[in-house]
Structure 1
Amino acid sequence: MSEEKLYAVKNDEGKYLDSTSFWNDNAGIAFKSSYIMLEWAEIFDGHVVTLIEEPEKVVLSEKQAKIVEGAHNDKLPACYISSKSDDEELLMKAYVNGYTVAKEKKYGVWVPYINNKMYYKDGRGSDDLDIASADCLNDKNQQFTEAEIEHYGLQDCEKEEVTDDEL
């Protein structure tokens, strides 16, 4: 977000001065120079207003996003956030400016000492892993989040990040 300000001329009816020197409900003209706008405001009997750029949205994890959503439903949002997280400043910015949820990275995990084989969640149980060939990274059962890698005890295995073009 730029730190430069933009200025426009507005009248008492809420209309902006446009480039044709008429007052307009829908559009106006803006300049970086407040001096130019002050002169125009005097000529056209309006006042100078500062235009504010929309702040950038904060990128959060799914867990952080749940905390911010909970804060929106709480009577004391700041207290709610501070009781749920140590990232108070980040989450308060997200609460005020809006946020997007970061897409969680996924990995293919190589089976040690076996060529061209990767782990595969076979889906029959919560802890069941199988082995599959490495040419199926687009299969959701062959993609692991960091939490799943830790859950299955695969931290010491070589892993390969799955990119969007492999999905």
Structure 2
Amino acid sequence: MSEHDLVTAIQRRAGLRTTSESKRLLEGVLQALAYVLPAEHIDAVCACVPEDLVWCLRCGPGTPDPLIDSEVFLGWVMSSVETTGGSDQTLGGDDPLAATAGVEGQARVRAVLDELWQRVDARSQDAVAACLPSGVADHLSHAGGPERGGL
């Protein structure tokens, strides 16, 4: 599969408007995975992404960082989400974009993982799911990942 095909599939699944936004999302999730997966699991994911995106998985420390929790994991994804829009007086002054940004970030992570899970063998799915931070892994209905239930 080419980078364009993967990015386009994620764009459709996540309901995003542009391929550039979808590519930034994919890069963010891959970079987050780079910090929570051991080298052997990174290798398995690298095998299912286009060569031009492997750098995202190789940018991490090579061993899981125990300080990466769901908040930090989602931080990489949130950089691709517009999270400020201004206050809305009909909502009591709340910013409607900021109020839903976390939920949108989780949905975007699921869209990327759903696409990746289709390209990774079941054994690797289980291993990767076991390495995800609990706040991210909690959204998986089975240890096997999004394909078996989703975020």
What range is the shorter-chain TM-score in? under 0.3
TM-score by length of 2: 0.27
Q: Which has the larger radius of gyration?
A: 1
- Larger % of helix: which? 2
Instruction: With a CA cutoff of 8 Å and minimum separation of 6, indicate the structure with the bigger relative contact order.
Output: 2
